[in-house]
Structure 1
Amino acid sequence: MLPKTPKPAIWKFIKGSAKTLFVLEAVCFAASYGVYYRMNTNREFRQHIHENYPFVLDYYYKIGEIVGDSTVRQSDASYWSALKKSD
């Protein structure tokens, strides 16, 4: 019978790193989906993003135009301009 030899430490490191990377990727995916869902359902949140991070909202609109809903940008702009006029 062959004697058992310990596995190299590098494999333990690779397995631990792969598990950590998998969990980190799952958390980032869940967070990005949560932000997308909130932007998709909440106009006030889109306005907050527009005021603080306009490049993020621009990417959101571009994705929406690619998928097929191209009216969100115009409806948000008209809603926000009406809010500014009433203030």
Structure 2
Amino acid sequence: MTHSQRDTEAGPLGTNWNCPWTRGLKNAEDLAHNNRARMVRTLEPLAKKIFKGVLVAEFLGVAGAYVLFNKMDTSQDFRQTMSKKFPFILEVYYKSIECSGMYGVRQQDQEKWLNNKS
């Protein structure tokens, strides 16, 4: 095999132009572009899975916050439990309802809890 035959078969940079994944490619730039395109195609499903995972996590977070707020809004006993275990979350609840114009819930809770201790 002569030097020129090897160059024709192997191509620049040792590329074998007779391989099935290189058919129709003219030079090393085409091969590099093909490799980048193949890499992008393989990353697309991963990116979609990550995006879906983020969306599901956000949805679960919003749903959980709604359930927690609703439970605190409807049950004074649950608010008392929250005051013992997670007082910072109860404080967020009180501030959010005070911002919406509902005042007096904090005072009612504290009065009831003090009367229950006595």
Same fold (TM over 0.5): yes
Q: Which runs of 5+ in 2 are unaligned?
A: 1-36
Q: After TM superposition, where is structure 1 displaced by more than 3 Å over at least 4 residues in a row?
A: none
Q: Take 1:69 and 1:43, find their aligned partners in 2: how far apart are those partners?
A: 15
| 1:10 counterpart letter in structure 2 | L
Which structure's relative contact order is higher, taking Cα pairs within 8 Å and 6+ residues apart?
A: 1
The equivalent position to 1:43 in structure 2, one of 76, 84, 90, is 76
The equivalent position to 2:58 in structure 1, one of 25, 28, 31, is 25
% identity of equivalent residues: 31
Count of residue pairs the alignment pairs up: 81
Q: What RMSD over aligned residues (CA atoms) do the two structures have, in Å?
A: 1.4
* TM superposition score normalised by structure 2: 0.64
CA deviation string 1:1-47 (max 9, x = no partner): xxxx7662121111111111111111111111101100000000000
2:9 corresponds to 1:9? no
Which has more radius of gyration?
A: 2
* TM superposition score normalised by structure 1: 0.85
